[in-house]
Amino acid sequence: MKKFILTISREYGSGGRVVGRALAHELGVPFYDNEIRTLTAEKSGLSESFIDKSSENLPNTFLHNLNYSAYSSYDSVSFYDIPVTDKLFLAQSEVIRELAEKGSCVIIGRCADFVLRDEPGLVRVMIRGEKEDRIRFAVENYDLSPEKAVEAMKKIDKSRINYYKYYTNRQRYDFDNFDLVVNTSFTGYSGATAIIKTMLEHKYFDD
């Protein structure tokens, strides 16, 4: 098996995490999600709860310097030089690159498709679903009322769109950002897993 890095972007309630975890299990590779947050907290010295909230509190500026966010080393900038949210993004990006260097893996969210854009073997997937199915997933898995699920879906999707735009200067739903888009309302979670696995097997698995 050749080395591959599978990054999964997802809409809230689409089951992207479910699909990613299943893929990692079936392919026998590491699955990175909350581990990235924990490692970023260790690197930055800030709490995991603060990191969770940072994507909702991006600095209000139209002069964001994308160059340092994309390429700078975490240790090369001071907390006094840039907003703490940007400092966290640098730390998180270094964690993602370090994990990718270890070998094939599945990484959920966190602009990993952008951070690892020059990584050989990168496969970028977007998992989406119809609103009704996403609401149902949130109600069943996150213990939310339908009304709260709708609120969470709107808030989190918007937050992810803004976060991605701020740190990549790209539109999150631009098809050029992905190698494959899968609608779990059509495929189901097991079907989505099978489709992505087949794609990886054709390109990265030895005959």
Domains along the chain? 5-204 (3.40.50.300)
pLDDT of residue 59: 60
pLDDT < 50 regions, the chain: 62-63, 66-72, 74, 76, 79
pLDDT of residue 57: 64
pLDDT of residue 204: 80
pLDDT of residue 29: 97
38 and 48 Cβ atoms separated by less than 8 Å: yes
pLDDT of residue 83: 77
The 10s digit of each residue's pLDDT in 63-85 is 455 444 444 454 545 545 667 88
* Prediction pTM value: 0.87
pLDDT of residue 73: 53
